Structures are given as structure tokens and as C-alpha cells.
Chain A
Amino acid sequence: MPSPRPGRQLVAAVRALLVATVVLGVGYPLAMTGIAQVIAPSAADGSLVSTADGTVVGSSLLGQGFVDADGAPLPQYFQSRPSASDWDGRASGGSNLGPNSAELADTVAQRRTAVAAFNGVPEADVPADAVTASASGLDPGISPAYAAIQVARVSRERGVPEAEVQQLVAAATTGRDLGFIGAPYVDVLELNLALDRELG
């Protein structure tokens, strides 16, 4: 029978947490890392992707900016969604602006004008994901609608037929998992890598 002295429970607690730290804090994650590196090494290391010459340019899971040094969008590439954190891998997150925020409303209006002008489409054709920042700041995807309004501009810049660009968009599009989970999206980095690879 345990003694009613409170100190005894504290000593047991210290020892229990030391055991937990070794087993759950070191043993468990290391064992899981070992298993992961065997069953799915590429995914466990972050689904890295590289160019045709083998240079690693990022992860197919992480969105990145296709912009020049001044932040201007590069017209030969499909553009990602806006990122509240400038696609910084050390500072993931969203804007956290509320649904009635005047600042957000202004930003959305400016983005809509800019995206419409950049792609040469009416403002009404610009979908919501093109003018809003994602939750992670690293969203790898855009909606098929946002990809669609970019096809003409990219093919014009690259001097290739729209049909060929459209084929690559289709190849980079992921439907709903099992047909009903989530939403369809186009992986922008995969798409742009394919553009460089297939269409120069």
C-alpha cells in the first residue's frame, strides 16, 4: 500500500517521466524514422524534386514563388497562390486576416486587378484561390480554374501551342482522392518542371 507521503509520488513521477522520455521520446521516433526510411524513403525525406540535370529545386509538396528578384511574376511559369509568408520554409502560416478585414478586402481587390491584367482575362474570371493567401503559405496547389486562365499566357510566352500546355496541366492535376475526398488541384512546381523539361 502506498504511503500517504506526497514526496513519494513526486519521486515516482520523476522516474516515470524519465522512462517515458527514453521510450516515447527517443525510442519511438527513432524506430519510426527507421521504418519510414525503409518503406517510403523519398516521401519520408520530403518528396524532393529536381530538374532534368538532377539539381534539387524544392519539394513537390511545398509551393514556391515563380517570381523574379523584385517579386514580379515570371510570365513563362504558372503562378502559385499568394503566400502570406512569401513561401518561407521557416515561417509557415496564413495571413490570419478576418472575413471582414478592410485590409484583406483591399488586398483581394488589388490581387484581382493584377491577376486579370497579367493573364489578359476579365476580372470576373479570376477564381478565389488566385486572390487569397493559403493556410500554410506553402500551398503547392492551385485550382484547375486558376490554371486554366494562365494557359494562354504561358503558351504565348513559350511560343508553343496551347494544347500542349493544356496536356501538361492535365498531367499535373490531381483529382479528389477516391473521387470524393478533398478538392482537385494542380501542383504548380510539378507543372512548371514539366514545362521546362518538355517544352524548353
Chain B
Amino acid sequence: MSGAAAGWLQVGLLVVALAVVHKPLGDWTARVFTSPAHWRAEKLVYRAVGVDPGSDQRWPVYLRSVLAVSVVGVLLLYLLQRVQGLLPLDNGMAPVEPSSAWNTAVSFVTNTNWQGYAGESTMGHLVQMAGLAVQNFVSAAVGLAVLAALVRGFVRQGTDRLGNAWVDITRSITRLLLPLAVVATVVMVLGGVVQNLHSGTDVTTLAGGSQFVPGGPVASQEAIKELGTNGGGFFNANSAHPFEGPTAWVSLFQVFLLLVIPFSLPRTFGRMVGDRKQGFAILGVMATLATISLTLMTVFQARAGGAATQLAGGALEGQEVRFGGPLSSLFATATTLTSTGAINTQHDSLTPLGGMVALFNMMLGEVAPGGVGSGLYGMLVLAVVAVFVAGLMVGRTPEYLGKKLGRREMTLASLYILTTPTIVLVGTAVAIGTAAGRAGMLNDGPHGLTEVLYAFTSAGNNNGSAFGGLSADTTFYNTALGLAMALGRFVPIVLVVALAGRLAEQGRTPVTAGTFPTHRPLFAGLLTAVVLVVVGLTYFPVLALGPLAEGLS
């Protein structure tokens, strides 16, 4: 079988698996957010946390709960890294340096998992387990909670209540993330991913040299890293490391894991708003964008652009032989379309246009399908914008799912779509304009600009993948990217929860002959166009100076 045919069969298997799973998983997730019954274990959690699960929170309280979890999460994770030498299972690692510890704490709490450090030489097992992996769960649960609040905003009428953030976060973990992570861990261990508490051993190699064979609870972390679209690897090489991604099928399974929740959430949305076709339209937009992106990435990588790539005879620099080209392209596409940022191939060494696709995927705002929770709430805000655009064309007050989109709603939605581009472009400009920023580039010319642009795009969109050539473990980048991650996560969350509050206060506008139907292909097409145009126009100039200049030269 030819490599290309095998590559598309892999995609086919993945699509079938996602299609089969998205219905039951999407329906289950809808129940998670609507069921009135609490599990016994959950009641224990609520008692330990000291919250009343029965209380229905107003949107400012809901928001404060979500932000409180995040702020405390940053502090706790920072502290853990700074004192790791005093704790058990530190594997002899020194305390993490302050600017790096800040960057990493923000990175994991914001679901970015940008890594300025190399895991195997920085973090002891305890920080990996009790610090980083905990935030893998919690940050994903926060994303799901914010999504649940927004969907309730569409569903509820004439109320100032959005549900209970503590219940949404707890149930996201107990009913969704933890059970799936247990299954995924077992599958990956059977596939060869390591799972132990050893601190690693030095062995004498066959040729008489010495090699360190690392140990660690890798599979349990790998599972939630993909499921929660986190992406922070146990090792520096992330899922390209043979102990994280031992075989091709395990790597494909990881692609499935990082797509499975985001692609089932439109079904959850359709269920919760009582019209599955609405979810189907959103899913169609996500799938269309993902298909275009994957096709472009695969074609660009196979064409092996770049002088050095041509000389080598293929795009194998920074790629693992066992995965091969198509699976590496698939992983790179999936990880940047979601907010994951895990890698099984080095993005800095992607072909110029392949690297641009990865960059553009993140610039889309990671909505196709995006991160756990965050992808769909981002897409729903864009849907609001699309409906507004349609309303302008026909001169009607726009409405989406029975909610009128007036000045205040549109202000919040507009601020949302402006936030990330502002962070990315201002951050890149500051870095390029300062000596400290320019010092980090490994490659020169347009590729160097792309390294910096990629870093701020990845941080601002909470992706976490990197053009690894950028020396980002400096005070400048740790601080600047930490800020970009925090603003890129929390400003949109504030806007989304506020929007949810406004929507819930409204009554429902009845559907009339003049209502723009939002479950038809026409709307899906319009939404696709809005996503591409809003993003394309914002970023085109800087893309032209970076990857386009390199790819077309």
C-alpha cells in the first residue's frame, strides 16, 4: 500500500471512531450538565469544599467561582514548583526558577501547557502528578463549566441564574474526564507507554556508552493531557518521545483522545437547547474547517518545501520514522485545531507552508473543534457574530436561538473576537521590537519572525505547541508569554460568562417567517466564512511577512 493511501485510511478510521462515539458521549455530557441528581462521591466533595450544590449562581458569582479556582490554582502550582526539593518524589530536581515557575503555573492553569522547561530535567514526579496533572483535569473542567454556563444562557429565560460552577467543575471531572482518563491510561499502557514511579536508571549501552532511561507516571498524565486538550508533555519531546508515543497506533489513539470531547460537544449543545440540528450545523462548520486544514497540511508536508528539506529528500527533520509523514501531519493539524499543543513532530521543522497551516489553525481561535469547552464557546460567539452579519444584510434585529442580539450582546461578542488577535499581534510586535525578544530566535529571516509569531499565537490562544527553536526559557519570554496566556484565557471567559448572563435575562423571541434559520447549510456556510474572514483579515499582513514570504521565496 502506498504511504499516501495508508495515510488517508488512518484519517478514515479516525473519522469513523469519532462519528461512532460523538453521539453517546455528547448525549452523556448533556446529562452531566442537566441531571438534578448528585452522586454520593460528589456530595462528599461538595461537603469538603464547603459549597451548597443546590444553589443557583448569578453570573458574577459563577464567574468569581471559576476565576477563584484559576487564581488559587496558579498560586498552588507556583508554590509546588518552588519547594519541590522539600517534598517526596522530587527525583533530585532543584526548585524551579521563579520566572519559569510563574510561566508554567499560568500555562497549565490556562489549559495552554506551553512548556519553557524540559520535563525530564526540571520536574520531579510529585510536581508532575500533584501539580501539573491536577491542572490538566481542572483547567479542562473550567472550560466545560464556562461552556455549560453559556449554553444555559441560551436555554434559560428571564432569570439571572446560570447554574452552579462548583457542580459543573466537579461533574466534568467525576462523570467525564476521570472515567475516560482511566480507560485511556489502560489502553496506552498496553501500547507501551510507561507508568511507574522509578526515578530512572543509567544503563551501559550496547556500544559501551551510557544512557539514562527515564521513569515516571507517564501514561496517567498522557491520558488527561490529550483528553483535556492540555498538551503538556512529561518529556521535552512530548508525544514524539518513545515513552509517550511508543507506536503509531498509540499516536493515532492520542489524536482520537484530543478530538473526542471537542467533537461531541456540539451534540451536547444541540441536546441542551432542544434542537439537535443546531448542534449539527456547528459540527458541520468544525468538520469542514478541519478537513480543509488537514488536506492542506498533508499536501504541503508531502511536497517537502524548503531548501534543506529538498536536499534531505523528504520532510523527515524533526519527524519520527515509526509515525511517518501522514500521521505526523494529522497530529500537527489536530493539536493546533484544538487547544492541545502536544506534538509528535517538531513544528519548527515543518515545511514553510505546513508550519503556516499549524499557525493559522491556532489563529482561527481554535474553534474547529477547539479545546474542551473553550472551542465550542468560541464557536458560539462567532455564531453570534455570523447571525449579526446576516441581520445587517436584511436589516432585521438579529436573533440566535430565540435570543435577541442587541447592542450589549454584540459589544461582548466583538470584544471577544478582538481580544486574542490584540494579544498576539501586540506581543509579537513588542518581542520583535526589543533586543530581549529578538535574542530568542534560533533561525533568522522570515522563519525567525514565524518563531516569535508562533509563540505568541500559541500562548494567546492557549495552545501550547511551539516552534521549539525559540529560546523561550528567558525572563522576557516567560513573563510576556505568561501574560499572554493569562489574558488570552481569562478575558474571553469574563466576556463569555457576562454574555451568558445577558442572554439568560432575556425572554424567548418566537420564531417567525423572518427569523434566519441557524440549522441550515446557508448558516453553516456563513459561519465558516465569518471564521475565515475575521481571522484571515486580522492576521494576513503578519502571515505575509513570515511563513508566506518563506514558503513562496
Contact = CB atoms under 8 A, between A and B. Distances in A.
B349 interface: yes
Contact of B72 (A13, A176, A178, A193): A13
A91 B355 CA distance: 24
Contacts of A192: 206
A132 B252 CA distance: 23
Interface in B117-163: 118, 120-121, 129-131, 133-134, 137-138
B220 A28 contact: yes
Nearest to B245: A136
A25 B467 contact: no
Contact of B309 (A4, A47, A99, A179): A99
B314 interface: yes
A181 B242 contact: no
A142 interface: yes
B192 interface: yes
Contact of B51 (A12, A51, A67, A179): A12
B213 A4 contact: no
A interface residue count range (under 10 / 10 to 19 / 20 to 34 / 35 or more):
35 or more
Interface string A27-63: 0110011011101100111111001000111110111
A56 B203 contact: yes
B308 A99 contact: yes
A97 B311 contact: no
B515 interface: no
B interface residue count range (under 10 / 10 to 19 / 20 to 34 / 35 or more):
35 or more
A1 B58 CA distance: 10
29 contacts: A2-B55, A6-B64, A25-B131, A33-B217, A33-B220, A36-B219, A40-B189, A44-B194, A46-B215, A58-B213, A61-B246, A62-B211, A89-B213, A92-B236, A93-B237, A95-B346, A97-B308, A99-B352, A101-B447, A108-B312, A127-B314, A128-B312, A128-B313, A131-B313, A142-B321, A143-B321, A177-B249, A180-B13, A181-B252
Given A98-B348, A129-B314, A131-B313, 6 more contacts: A29-B220, A36-B189, A43-B194, A96-B348, A105-B311, A132-B319
Interface of A: 1-2, 4, 6, 9-17, 19-21, 24-26, 28-29, 32-33, 35-37, 39-40, 43-48, 51, 55-59, 61-69, 74, 77, 81, 87-102, 104-105, 108-109, 112, 127-129, 131-143, 174, 176-183, 185, 189, 192-193, 196
